[in-house]
A and B are shown apart, each in its own frame.
Chain A
């Protein structure tokens, strides 16, 4: 039994189904991130949990109580909105205590709660200001303060960092994580940013087209993506997914690519040959960091035979250099160390960490579980 249960929730607008049988159980203290591209239904699901939208069928339960027909203010939840949604006519202090006031909490208790939260978020000097006089980061803190002061069962975050500039976003991300470690509250967090999802969550639900594509820990989602969509959505640069044919030679399975020139590249798979048919088509998923230039690979893993190919583009980014190479006619991105010297247009040899290779069925695009 989860602390927050989302049981078979569907949502339709007329004939259009935007959520299909969503089934997620969140344990107490867990940090669940709903991630997906725009229009995947993640914000709708969050609004349904909050009670701001009605579900078409299914059940939402918090702390063992079905809350389908409970008003948002009585679900013991708090929400942080993308635009912060601070009341412009009230001071920071009034903003934070408004919810307590609406729940008829006596004034002395309200002030005590306000002081605790202000101290926790270090916004004491701002309490008498209006939201219009605050910077983006300060508004963000006030919005979190307004959520924290109610001491809710579940926190809901709706893309809270997407209105901040890049640097502040990283700082606030760390801050949210610290806060979660300190308070150990259940959080459901919506974002379209897969890095936020990976860094913050204890579990990720990757959503697309109203379906949960995969629900798992960040490492599960990253290393064993359920399908091609998840593989390409999580990770930056995205996982390379290229079609290949399986050949079985001497009791080993090889993924073979052939470019137009007739020069074939064979990569010996780590998976046992018995799980494949000779001539079977697959999609091969290779993370950029699974590719190394010859001589710099990790010796402790199962590496492929080196192959020589053309360097198409080199993009240094400081810590890493992204090198796009041509693998049998496909552009494949690799993440190499920062000081690698591989000018574009030259030939170089690379190896692949075969332990990290993921295989997909070309028909269903689901991962082959072998």
Chain B
């Protein structure tokens, strides 16, 4: 009896497992369909798409749409392709991410290890910046950039994103460092290390997980931002604004294959960041949130 019932328990288990996997597979396929459509159609000549079969694999494989999106497509009035805008985005994202992460780490370090009167209030106020919608600050930000002489430039965009990013990066690092034993900082003080020496030699070397989280978060947000880019970019617009110009153009034939290729190009860097650093992401998020 007992053996028979054990048997059926195992079998039952197997049926559930199969069901679970089938369901997961169906959902995975469902979510992957848009990506499939984008990739498949970006590799077809336009005639195959307008011919009406969006779901099919290309009959004639071509990378022409990719080349066109990258270097010759009409963006606004110039036939430059997305390349210069991609470069703009990189020039904007890299310093913005680095500067906002460093400032966030320093803020977190000061707010947890060099406590002062009113530090929690200051932290609370910084947290507010995470909840302020972009639209509200457009006009004041435009005025500040104008006064600084940075309007319509990549440097202006970097400043905007750094200011906006500090809220989140401070939140991450503060919560991470809150779990970091203060005795270590005291030991380093007695050993004679100064403010920045403690930061560089003791705190930063163990900040790997939270740095990954912060970089992924900042990179995706800044790369994907459209509103600030289109408002303050001027001539040096980022990738998102250019993609919009490419896809939304109302003159001439809609080149869907080029649009698909452009959209994938625009999403590629964030995808790469996730694939390279993604496995640290969850780990870092847990460390930052649960322990803090």
Chain A residues proximal to chain B, CB less than 8 Å: 50, 52, 71-74, 77-79, 81-83, 85-89, 98-99, 102-103, 146, 150
Contact A85 B184, beta carbon cutoff 8 Å: yes
Are B188's CB and A98's CB within 8 A?
yes
Q: Are B184 and A72 in contact (CB under 8 A)?
A: no
Instruction: Compute how far the CA of A88 lies from the CA of B190 in the bound complex, rounded to whole angstroms.
Output: 17
Known: A77-B190, A83-B181, A86-B184. 9 other contacts (CB 8 A): A71-B189, A72-B189, A72-B190, A73-B193, A79-B186, A81-B186, A82-B183, A85-B187, A87-B188
| Number of A-B pairs, beta carbon distance below 8 Å | 56
- Partner pick for A50 among B190, B193, B206, CB 8 A cutoff: B190
From residue B185, how far is it (CB to closest CB) to chain A in Å? 9
Distance in angstroms between the alpha carbons of A296 and B143 in the assembled complex: 95
Q: Are B183 and A73 in contact (CB under 8 A)?
A: no
A79→B186 CA distance, assembly (Å): 9
Q: List the B side residues contacting A87 at CB < 8 Å.
A: 184, 187-188, 201-202
B131, chain A: closest CB distance, angstroms: 33
Q: Which residues of B contact A (CB under 8 A)?
A: 181, 183-184, 186-193, 197, 201-202, 205-206
CB distance from B195 to the nearest CB of A (A): 12
Please determine whether A81 and B183 come into contact, CB atoms closer than 8 angstroms: yes
Chain B residues within an 8 Å CB radius of A81: 183, 186-187
- Whether the Cβ atoms of A99 and B192 lie closer than 8 Å is yes
Q: How far is the CA of A249 from the CA of B181 in the complex (A)?
A: 64
Docked pose: A71 CA to B186 CA in angstroms? 12
Chain B residues, Cβ within 8 Å of A52: 186, 189-190
A102 engages B206 (CB within 8 Å): no
CB B142 to nearest CB in A, in angstroms, measures: 44
B192 — which chain A residues lie within 8 A by C-beta? Answer: 73-74, 99, 102-103
A146 to B187, CA, bound (A): 10
CB-defined contacts of A89 to chain B, threshold 8 Å: 202, 205-206
- CB pair B189–A73 under 8 Å, yes or no, is yes
Question: 5 pairs across A/B with beta carbons < 8 Å?
Answer: A79-B190, A83-B183, A87-B201, A98-B201, A99-B190
Partner of A85, one of B183, B197, B201, B205: B183
Measured CB to CB, the nearest residue on chain B to A80 is B187
**What residues of chain A lie closer than 8 Å to B187, measured between beta carbons?**
79, 81, 85, 87, 146
Taking a contact as CB atoms under 8 Å apart, the answer to whether B186 and A85 are in contact is yes
